[in-house]
Amino acid sequence: MAVSIASARRDEREELAEIEAYYRAELARPAEFPSVQWKPVRIGPTWALDDDGIHWRLPEYTIGWGVLAWCGRWLQESRGVGWQFTLEQARFLLWWYAIDEAGRFLYRDGVFQRLKGHGKDPLGAALCAAEMLGPVRVVDWDDSGPVGGDEMNAWVQTAAVSLKQTKNTMRLFPGLFSDEAKARYAIQIGREQIHALGDTRFMEAVTSSPASLEGARSTFVLMNETHHWMANNDGHEMAAVIERNATKSKGGAARTLRITNAYEPGEDSVAERDREAYEKVLAGEAVDIGLLYDSLEAPPEAPLTLEAAPSVVEAIRGDSVWLDTEVIVKSIADTRNPPSRSRRFWYNQITAAEDAWMDPQQWDAIAAPDQLVLPGEPIVAFFDGSKSDDTTALVGCRLSDGHVFVIDCWARPAGERGRGWIVPRQQVDEAVAGMFDAYKVVAFFADPSDTRDDTGERFWEPLLDDWHRRYGPQLKLWSVQSGDRRHSIAWDMRSKEHVNLFTAAAERFVAEVAAGLFTHDGDIRLRQHVRNARRRPNEFGVSLGKEHRESARKVDLAVCAVGARMLRRLYQNKETSTKQRSGKVW
């Protein structure tokens, strides 16, 4: 008997080694991308190439190889057909299970965003099965690297805000586990719960009940369709409870993975907050807490037409070759489906909210990060000052072609709490001095806001007066050109005249972006502020602003971009008028 058991285990090890060898060989091949006109936007390490620019970059240390092999050995796609991840999914799993030299996971949680029909639920189900019974924890190291073992107290949850959503995953398990796996692990599958190994391993479906989730000692949570998790269905509170439960786990081993379609901006879903958190890390506005974000999206300029759609879908479906491009194109052509929905579902694009000031796809389409503004080039610049809450920003615009670029910005550092932080005025002053040293600044307007210091004086007024004395003589266009309060720089946006002027500039800005009449530097902070901005109608037209006064979603860089473009136009009009009036008087 002992001999037969040993033989069976040896055969099992050989099968696992064979499956792992398959993935290693396939992922060692040169990376291949479909030859399409509309190249997708690739987000996440899954899509990174190695230094040679030919092969996929894979993590140095990962227990993902063992997970891939375990799933191939004990799970099945259909009866008698072993489970096999696509190579795209396999790369994601290798990064999801990547660890550092101390054996800790590189990523605390993750987001897997794909177009509808990609296969997110089967991927999530396979992960849940592995987290319940597979080698998902580091237990040892050998000459080949880390060795994975199972979680002896596995408590896996698949969470959603409705029972229907949890069923999308739970209904897969009866056919996912092979008969051999059900016998080996004594798996008992119910509608909403799964037990294994004498009830020492547990999986359950949970829905919107934050109170009942509090304190659960879950070891892995699959958060399903987080683009539907909102405040009105307890989605945010549910996500917060799940995060707290995972945080208190031993060694931070418990993690969460969110699977989602592209969200609709402005709905304030958990998916939207996840994306914003990720982009803030990229912009240096937040601490990197280990969020693995993985997405494959159509480029912003991809048209939603019958001619272009097949190429676009082929590019962003990745390895999901089972998606029928022809059927998807028919859905796109169906006039009952609004374009914004088709872009979210089939292009995996994050499309604008109803009250969005700017279409984010149009903004991304005019990004030109390679267009450098050279020293000595003539520019105009606009400054928006705050004291502690909003972002203090400085944006320039090249005079020759209207290219917009961020010079600098200052925001409350990640992790700062309360009212202790104040914008460093000396750093701001140094940045302005650096701007005048680097470029030929012909006009510079600054909105000081009504922010006041502890003495009741305006916070920015002394510095703006200092700038006026230092730089006023070299500026070609002054902000206040007549009267007792002549000033070269201070430009108070609260005056009725300036509100009218800025509103017209904001409307013109949106139209020029849509027409592709200028470019910008692609700064991710500016991009985020443009996405945050909402339409704000007033007596003069439609301006822009925050979603509400106390919103943490800042828009100051977008305001400065509009101001800089407005200033360029004012300067050009002044120059034209001056040239027309020039001549000799006899």
Residue 501 shares a structural domain with residue 467: yes
Length of the chain: 586
Separation between Cα atoms, residue 250 and residue 241, nearest integer Å: 17
Pick from 223, 248, 212: nearest CA to 121: 223
Q: Which residues pair with 78 in a beta bridge?
A: 81
Residue 269 shares a structural domain with residue 324: yes
Residue 272 shares a structural domain with residue 239: yes
Q: What sign does the CA torsion over 231, 234, 239, 241 have?
A: positive
Question: Domain range holding 311?
Answer: 2-346
**CB atoms inside a 10 Å sphere around CB 557:** 26
Residue 292 shares a structural domain with residue 395: no
The total domain count for the chain is: 2
Q: pLDDT at position 7, please?
A: 47
Residue 356 lies in a domain: no
Q: pLDDT at position 419, please?
A: 58
Residue 518 lies in a domain: yes
Residue 352 lies in a domain: no
Q: Give the pair of three-digit tokens for residue 580.
A: 């027309």
Residue 322 shares a structural domain with residue 405: no
Residue 584 lies in a domain: no
Whether 350 contacts 263, CB under 8 Å: yes
Separation between Cα atoms, residue 318 and residue 89, nearest integer Å: 10
Separation between Cα atoms, residue 485 and residue 508, nearest integer Å: 29
Whether 371 contacts 519, CB under 8 Å: yes
Helix axes 270-282, 235-247, angle to 10 degrees: 60
Separation between Cα atoms, residue 564 and residue 560, nearest integer Å: 6
CATH number of the domain residue 372 falls in: 3.30.420.240
Q: Dihedral, CA atoms, 497, 502, 507, 508, nearest 10 degrees?
A: 100
Residue 372 lies in a domain: yes
CATH number of the domain residue 111 falls in: 3.40.50.300
Residue 157 shares a structural domain with residue 222: yes
Helix, strand or coil for residue 348? coil
Residue 395 shares a structural domain with residue 270: no
Question: Please, which contacts does 248-251 make with residues 24 or more away whose CB atoms are closer than 8 Å?
Answer: 249/217, 249/219, 251/104
Q: pLDDT at position 268, please?
A: 78
Q: Give the pair of three-digit tokens for residue 2.
A: 């002992």
Separation between Cα atoms, residue 262 and residue 85, nearest integer Å: 23
Residue 353 lies in a domain: no
Residue 461 shares a structural domain with residue 429: yes
Residue 549 shares a structural domain with residue 433: yes
**CB atoms inside a 10 Å sphere around CB 412:** 21
Q: pLDDT at position 453, please?
A: 67
Helix, strand or coil for residue 575? helix
Separation between Cα atoms, residue 546 and residue 583, nearest integer Å: 48
Pick from 540, 486, 549, 552: nearest CA to 508: 540
Residue 463 lies in a domain: yes
Q: Which residues pair with 157 in a beta bridge?
A: 204, 221
Q: pLDDT at position 127, please?
A: 97
Q: Give the pair of three-digit tokens for residue 86.
A: 């696509």
Whether 272 contacts 90, CB under 8 Å: no
Separation between Cα atoms, residue 136 and residue 550, nearest integer Å: 43
Residue 381 shares a structural domain with residue 337: no
Pick from 509, 516, 517, 560: nearest CA to 535: 509
Whether 266 contacts 353, CB under 8 Å: yes
Residue 108 shares a structural domain with residue 216: yes
- Map tokens 């000595």 to a residue: 376
**Which DSSP category does 321 fall into?**
T
Residue 125 lies in a domain: yes
- Map tokens 């136009």 to a residue: 569
The type of residue at 105 is F
| pLDDT, mean of each 10-residue run, the chain (586 residues) | 48 91 96 85 95 94 97 93 95 97 94 94 96 95 90 93 81 94 95 92 86 81 93 87 83 88 85 90 85 93 88 91 91 84 90 77 90 96 87 96 96 63 91 97 89 73 93 92 80 88 95 95 90 89 85 88 97 75 46
Residue 397 shares a structural domain with residue 297: no
Q: Which residues pair with 400 in a beta bridge?
A: none
Separation between Cα atoms, residue 132 and residue 181, nearest integer Å: 12
Separation between Cα atoms, residue 443 and residue 207, nearest integer Å: 57
- Greatest alpha-carbon span in the chain: 120
Pick from 112, 297, 146: nearest CA to 223: 112
- List, in order, residues 6 or more apart from 535 with CB less than 8 Å away: 355, 356, 357, 542, 544
